[in-house]
Amino acid sequence: MPNSHKIVPTRIVIYAKDVMNITGRSERTARKILQQIRKATGKKRGDMVTVSEFCQFTGIDQHLVTGFLL
C-alpha cells in the first residue's frame, strides 16, 4: 500500500476570526472590515469574502495572509 499524504487545501474564504488574527483588531472591528469589503464588492449580507478580496481591500500581501490560515 503506497504512503498516502494528506493534502491540506488552502482556504479561499476568510472569516472574522482570521481577520482578528491577521490584524490584531477586536472581533467587532474585524466584522466591520468584512462588512466594508462586502459593500465595496457589491455582495449581500452573509456572502463569503475571499482571501483575494481581503488582500485587495487591505493591501496586505496574499502570501502573508495565507500563512495565517494554515
| Alpha carbon distance 34, 28 (integer Å) | 10
Grid cell 465595496 in the structure block, residue: 40
Q: Is residue 2 part of a domain?
A: no
Burial class (CB in 10 A: 0-12, 13-18, 19+), 14: buried
7-50 pLDDT, tens digit per residue, is: 666 789 999 999 999 999 999 999 999 999 999 999 999 999 99
pTM of the shown model: 0.83
The total domain count for the chain is 1
State residue 11's pLDDT score: 85
State residue 10's pLDDT score: 79
Q: Please state the φ and ψ torsions of residue 17, each to the nearest 5 degrees.
A: -60, -40
Q: Is residue 6 part of a domain?
A: no
Q: Is residue 42 part of a domain?
A: yes
Q: Give yes or no for a contact between 21 and 42, defined as CB atoms under 8 angstroms apart.
A: no
Shortest CA distance to 51 belongs to which of 34, 36, 28, 35?
Answer: 34
Domain with 56 in it: 13-69
44-67 pLDDT, tens digit per residue, is: 999 999 999 999 999 999 999 998
